[in-house]
Amino acid sequence: MIHERESLMDTERYEALSKRTRLRALEMALQAGAGHLGGSFSCADILVALYYGGLLRHDPADPTWTDRDRLILSKGHANNTLYVILADRGYFPPEELDRFCRPGSFLGNHCDKMVPGVETISGSLGHGLGTAAGLAWGARLSGRDYRVFCILGDGESQEGSIWEAAMFAHQRRLGNLVGILDRNRLGSEDFTEDTAGLDPVEDKWAAFGWDVRSINGHDFHDIFAALGDVCSRDRQRPLMIVANTVKGRGMPVLENTPRAHHTLPKGEQIEMARRVLV
């Protein structure tokens, strides 16, 4: 079981892990000629904190352990960095990453439940928060103390079903549910504020009855400060962490551009990305 609490000040270690995770995800995507690096990189630091920083109670040797915390990656296209982390933590052999998106591999371009460590299928947006709420509610009804984390996209938050789930989670007082909004301000092809704007997004979640914390999603001090106490608090309200991030963070050529969604670096861009991530 992995439940150790890391030093909150050990940010250098997490930053190194983040770089290593992004670099491996980059190589995996380049090898496959497929991937969603933009959204995978914007939530990479949050995933590193959850899986390496002791925030998530889990056991790679027993992926279906009843009392594990559940993590739902609702923005299921952003699985590149998640798969790298799951392999590194021991959920499946790292060699499988070399088979990403290849015929016969269980690692496809969106999350699937058949991947050890992945809780639900995701890839169509707007589903994950409701499923996470159902899981959190099931834990409550069964008297179990696991928590449910759900990483949402901000483009995804344009789906109405997200707000159905938001109302429901508040109604049921799901204090064991933690949403993390990957606020990279980009959808699939455009900036969210140019299509169906979400701001002031913190106020929206607060108006729906959630506790809200706004952080820099690439700053480990911020991440641990926001998430560090969710394990111990007896919450009565669901918590939304609005993680302000940069789509494609770590690949300067694609950072904060609409192309970052599923464009892979090409030519010289590849070496530039590698140099940044080494």
Beta strands in the chain (DSSP E): 70-73, 148-153, 177-183, 211-216, 239-244
Among 17, 139, 227, 241, binds other proteins (CB under 8 A): 139
Q: Which is nearer to other proteins, 73 or 226 (CB)?
A: 73
Residue 209 · residue 163 · CB < 8 Å? no
Which is closer to other proteins, CB of 161 or CB of 257? 161
d(CA 244, CA 60): 29
| CB of residue 82 to other proteins, shortest distance in Å | 18
Residues forming beta bridges with residue 163, ordered by sequence position = none
When the beta carbons of 161 and 216 are compared against other proteins, the nearer one is 161
Contact positions with other proteins (CB under 8 A) in 56-95:
70
| Residue (120 or 244) nearer to other proteins, CB | 120
- Residue 124 is a binding residue for other proteins (CB under 8 A): yes
Task: Enumerate residues 6+ apart whose C-beta is below 8 A from 131.
Answer: 72, 120
Size of the site for other proteins (CB under 8 A): 30
Which residue in 48, 69, 49 sits closest to 58, CA to CA? Answer: 69
Per-residue tokens: 1:
């079981």
Out of 85, 165, 215, 246, the only residue in the binding site for other proteins (CB under 8 A) is: 165
Q: Which chain residues interact with other proteins by CB under 8 A? A: 70, 113, 119-121, 124, 126-139, 141-142, 144, 160-161, 164-165, 167-168, 171
